[in-house]
Amino acid sequence: MSTPGAPLRLGAVIITMGNRPAELNDLLDSVAKQQGPPVAVAVVGNGSPLPPLPPQVRTAELPENLGIPGGRNVGIELFGPGAEEVDVVLFLDDDGLLPGDDTAELVRQAFDADPELGIISFRIADPETGQTQRRHVPRLRASDPMRDSRVTTFLGGACAVRSRVIQQVGPLPAEFFYAHEETDLAWRALDAGWLIDYRHDMVLFHPATSPARHAVYHRMVARNRVWLARRNLPWPLVPVYLGVWFLLTLARRPSRPALRAWLGGFREGWATPCGPRRAMRWRTVWRLTRLGRPPII
């Protein structure tokens, strides 16, 4: 922990597959330009070698791709067990960019002002248009991305997490590989009493893309949705939550190949181990409901 009265120590974790070296360097430059004490940086080559990096950057080159949560967990450990050497961990996508030089200071001020605040979700904006996609606003009422609010999940590639949250509830679920790992951590944090904020003034520039560009998107979204419920929800809510998402998926009329992949992932989610189960308390269910996102949708 920081010395009382000293600025919070920030560390940024960035995972890369080595295919965006120019964007990675631009991101590192934007982190280095932040006001206040320097932000420590850890870069993980997720199954790929790393390009030349500044000497102060902590690095790890993994022999295989461990997925997004697995790679980020390795980055966390580069700051000591449970990120003990920093007070707050920033997770930043390697093709993102911090357009403002005050983001780190805003993060410090937010966590200093509210000791119960555990996670901050940044606003993601397209660098060309400045617009924020609805899916990047982590709440149901997403029409106004400029409205700050308490939320029940966060954006994994544009966020800040207090190290004490990770130390208390554990890291990201590495077995998820891709999709819903943020919500798994968010639900565990909320169940432990932490708060999550969405802040429009903490911005990460990121090109507007579709998550469906990933070949494994539909299968892993479905599989991990089942795992998320099995790991975290009281048993009476599991069929309700998954039934609602099943109907929503059908209502969106996916293509036949996408639906086949989704149904395969849904079956896989029931047939394979999901990791440790720690069902949230009913008090947390009510808390999520009051925040506008009951855990049935």
Whether 289 is in a domain gets the answer: no
> What is the C-alpha to C-alpha distance for residues 10 and 43, in angstroms, rounded to an integer?
14
The number of CA neighbours under 13 Å toward the Cβ of 136 is 25
Percent residues over pLDDT 90 in the chain = 95
Query: What pLDDT is recorded for position 208?
Result: 84
Query: What pLDDT is stored for residue 212 in this prediction?
Result: 59
Same domain for 186 and 266: no
Q: Mean per-residue pLDDT for 268-288? A: 97
Domain coverage including residue 132: 10-209
According to the model, what pLDDT value does residue 278 have? 97
In a shared domain, residues 155 and 66: yes
pLDDT at site 1: 59
- pLDDT tens for residues 192-224? 999 999 999 999 999 987 765 555 899 999 999
Q: Report the number of distinct structural domains present in the chain.
A: 2
Q: Do 219 and 110 have their domain in common?
A: no
Question: What's the rounded mean pLDDT across residues 46-50?
Answer: 97
Tens digit of pLDDT for each residue in 57-102?
999 999 999 999 999 999 999 999 999 999 999 999 999 999 999 9
Please check the confidence at residue 3 and state whether its pLDDT lies above 80. no
Q: How do residues 125-156 score in pLDDT, each as one tens digit?
A: 999 999 999 999 999 999 999 999 999 999 99
Cβ atoms of 296 and 244 within 8 Å: the answer is yes
| CA distance to 131, 132, 186, 205, 208, per residue, from 128 (Å) | 8, 11, 30, 9, 9
Looking at residue 220, its pLDDT comes to 96
Instruction: Kindly report the average pLDDT of the chain as a whole number.
Output: 96
117-125 vs 195-205, strand pairing mode: parallel
The pTM of this model reads 0.96
With cut-offs at 50, 70 and 90, classify the pLDDT of residue 177: very high
Cα distance between residue 239 and residue 273, in whole Å: 17
Same domain, 55 and 143: yes
Shared domain check, 246 and 141: no
Same domain, 180 and 42: yes
d(CA 222, CA 144): 28
* Per-residue pLDDT tens digits for 12-37: 999 999 999 999 999 999 999 999 99
| Boundary residue ending a domain (178, 209, 240) | 209
Same domain, 152 and 258: no
Q: What is the pLDDT of residues 57-68, one digit of tens each?
A: 999 999 999 999
pLDDT for 214 equals 53
